[in-house]
Amino acid sequence: MIRTQISVDKELYKRAKRVARRKGISLAELCRQSLQEIVAQEPLDRPWLAFAGIFEGSPSDSTSVDEVVYGRETP
């Protein structure tokens, strides 16, 4: 795990501590969960992965994946 330091204003700090206490978690865990939630909304580095598994078909339908994705025929 990487340790980091952030600066927040006093009011945000107090509100965040209150939320963390209400959830029964540390302020650090609240920050980790919040960051994870925001980061999960960002597009993937490989945007085509967002479509993985959403199409119906049989395994034989995927024989042309290399051709479509990489521009080459499968052996």
pTM: 0.57
The answer to whether the CB of 69 falls within 8 A of the CB of 48 is yes
| pLDDT tens for each residue of 14-55 | 999 999 999 999 999 999 999 999 888 877 677 666 666 666
Note the pLDDT of residue 6. Answer: 93
Please report how many Cα atoms fall inside a 13 Å half-sphere around the Cα of residue 20, on the Cβ side: 16
pLDDT of 31: 96
Contact 39, 33 (CB under 8 A): no
